[in-house]
Structure 1
Amino acid sequence: MKSMFAGIIALLIIGTGAYPQEMTEIQEVIMEFSSFAADKQLDVNEWTITMKEKTTPEEAERIKADMTMLFERPIIQKEIMTNATKYTITDSQKNKNFVETYILIYPTNKKSSTEMVYTVQGQGKPSLSKHDTKIVNEVKSRFFSKNVTIFSCLKATYSGIMNDVLVYEKFEQAFNITTINEIDDENGWTSRSGYTNQWGNTLPVGDQTVNVQFATRTLGGETTITIGTPIITAEY
C-alpha cells in the first residue's frame, strides 16, 4: 500500500515540476493527501497550507512591510474586532488558483503577543510548481522561526453516500495512524484525530499528542472529506 502511494506521489511531483530536493514536509503532506483521495476516487476541491506563529508587535510591523513589498498589488484590509485589530494582506495580481494571504492579529491587551498567519490556498488538485514551492519555502525561512506551527489541509468530495468508517480505516492503514479521539455526530458529521510518526508537526491535546485529523460531513447525498495535519484549522 505504501509503495503504491509513493509511486503516485512521484508522478504528481514530476507532473507539476516540483522536485523532491525542493519539497519539504509541508508540500509532501499535501501531495500524500491528494494521492490518497485520488486512490479512493474522491474529487479534490481545495487545499491549504497555513503557517502560524506568535511575535512582538514591532517584529510584526517589520514583517508586514516586507510582506507587502513581495506582492505586486497588495490589498490591505483592516478589521476592528472586540479584543483585537486584524490586518489582512492579499495580492490582487496573483493567480486565483494559488492565493496567498497574510494576516496579523494585534490583541487589544498590549501584554499579549501578536499572531502572524500566512496561508496559501489552491483550488482542485495540488499543483505545486517549482515557482510555487519556492514561494512557500521562502516565506517560511524569511518570515517565520523554527517554532512555526504549520497546518496542511485538503478537502475532497464523493458524489453519493459513502462508508466513511471504511475510508478512514484505509486512511489509518495507509499512514500508520494510531487513532486517539473519535466523534460521531447524529447530524452526519464525524471527526477522528490521531498520531503517526510519518510527520513531525504535532500538537498537544489534553495528555495526548496528535498530528492528523480526518473529518466527514454528509449532506444531500454528497460526502465531504477534510484531512488536516496536525489538526484541521478554522477559517480566520
Structure 2
Amino acid sequence: MKKIVLMSIILLLTTGAAVSQKQQEEMSALASTLTGNDMEVENWEVTIKEQMSKDRVKQLIKKLKTKNSQMVTSKEAENSIKYSFGYINKKTNINETYNIVIPKDDKYQAQFTVVLEGNSWNKSIKKDYLNRLESIQYDFFSDKSTKFACITTTLSGKLGSVYFLNRIKESLNLQNIDEQSDTVENSMLNKVVYGYTPLWDQKITIMDKPMNLQLAFKDIENGKTKLTIGTPILITEY
C-alpha cells in the first residue's frame, strides 16, 4: 500500500530541526523506546532538509568538496542539477549522504538534504550520532530546517503489535491516536498508527490536531511483524 500520508503535508510542519534542551532528541528517544523493551534496532535513518538560496548551496558544494573528495555523482536533468556526496565513517558505522538539488528556474530555491543512517544502535553509536548531528546542523543548516527520524525493528512472540503499541503509548505519552487498517486484498501492511507526543517540537496539524509520530506494522514471514516508526511522519517506504 502506498503511504497514507502524502509527502505534500511535509509543508505543514510548524517548527525547525533545532533541539530543545527540555525535550528529547527524536532518534535517541525512539531508539531508547525500542532497546528499553529488549528489542533490536535493525535500521535507523535521520534526514535533515532545508530550502536555500542558490548562492548558499554553491558555498556548501565548495565546502563539501574541500572536506570530502568522494563526490558520488553530479547529474544534470531537464529542470535541475543534482550533486551527491557520500561518506562512511568506519569508526562509528554511520553513513552520511549529502544531496543538493539546484533548479534551473531562478524562481525556485535549491534544496539541501543530509541523511545519517546505520544498522545498529548502542551507547557508543548514540554518542557519535549526537556529535555528528550537532556538527552538521551547526555547519550547514539554520533553524528553518526540518528533521525526520525513522527506525525499524521486528516484533515476534508475545511482543506483538498490540502489546508494543500499548508500551509506546505509555513511554511517549502518545495522544490524538488514530489507527488505520489496510483493507487492500493480499496486502501485508496491516495497520498504520498516527499520534502526537509532547516530547518533540516538530508537528503537523491535521484537522486542528497536532501529529508527530507514525507507526507502520507490516506482516512478514513466520508470523513476525516489521515495525517502522517515524517522526514527524514516515518519508521512507515501509
**Could you say which TM-score interval applies, normalised by the shorter chain?**
0.7 to 0.9
Q: Does 1:106 align with 2:102?
A: yes
Assess if the C-alpha contact under 8 Å between 1:75 and 1:91 holds in 2: no
* Mapped partners of 2:147, 2:23: distance in 1: 7
Q: From the superposition, tell whether residues 175 and 27 of structure 1 become closer, same or farther in structure 2 (CA, over 3 Å).
A: closer
* Mapped partners of 2:102, 2:220: distance in 1: 37
Q: From the superposition, tell whether residues 114 and 180 of structure 1 become closer, same or farther in structure 2 (CA, over 3 Å).
A: farther
User: Map of 1:90-105 to 2, 5 A cutoff?
Assistant: 90-91=86-87, 94=90, 97-105=93-101
- For normalisation by structure 1, the TM-score amounts to 0.77
Match of 1:230 among 229, 232, 236: 232
* Mapped partners of 1:128, 1:228: distance in 2: 19
Q: CA deviation at 1:96?
A: 7.6
1:198 aligned counterpart, secondary structure: coil
Q: From the superposition, tell whether residues 131 and 124 of structure 1 become closer, same or farther in structure 2 (CA, over 3 Å).
A: closer
Q: CA deviation at 1:50?
A: 1.4
Q: What's the CA shift string for 1:73-103, capped at 9, x where partnerless?
A: 4233133456533221112665582111111
For structure 1, which segment, 186-195 or 123-132, has the greater mean C-alpha deviation from structure 2 after superposition?
123-132
Assess if the C-alpha contact under 8 Å between 1:181 and 1:194 holds in 2: yes
Percent identity reads 24
Q: Which amino acid aligns with 2:99?
A: I
Aligned residues: 213
Q: Which amino acid aligns with 1:223?
A: T
Q: Which amino acid aligns with 1:185?
A: D
Gaps of 5+ in 2: 1-19
1:128 aligned counterpart, secondary structure: helix
2:216 is matched with 215
- For normalisation by structure 2, the TM-score amounts to 0.77
Q: CA deviation at 1:61?
A: 1.0
User: After the TM superposition, which parts of structure 1 deviate over 6 Å for at least 4 consecutive aligned residues?
Assistant: 23-27
Q: CA deviation at 1:143?
A: 0.9
Match of 1:57 among 45, 54, 57: 54
1:43 aligned counterpart, secondary structure: coil
* Mapped partners of 1:202, 1:145: distance in 2: 18
Gaps of 5+ in 1: 1-22
1:183 aligned counterpart, secondary structure: strand
Larger RCO, structures 1/2 (Cα 8 Å, 6+ apart): 2
For structure 1, which segment, 177-186 or 128-137, has the greater mean C-alpha deviation from structure 2 after superposition?
128-137
Q: CA deviation at 1:230?
A: 1.1
2:42 aligned counterpart, secondary structure: strand
* Mapped partners of 1:181, 1:110: distance in 2: 41
* Mapped partners of 2:77, 2:119: distance in 1: 29
2:15 is matched with none
For structure 1, which segment, 119-128 or 47-56, has the greater mean C-alpha deviation from structure 2 after superposition?
119-128
Assess if the C-alpha contact under 8 Å between 2:192 and 2:217 holds in 1: yes
Q: CA deviation at 1:129?
A: 5.6
For structure 1, which segment, 117-126 or 51-60, has the greater mean C-alpha deviation from structure 2 after superposition?
117-126
Q: CA deviation at 1:166?
A: 3.0
Q: CA deviation at 1:199?
A: 0.9
Question: For the aligned residues, what is the CA RMSD?
Answer: 2.9
For structure 1, which segment, 112-121 or 218-227, has the greater mean C-alpha deviation from structure 2 after superposition?
218-227
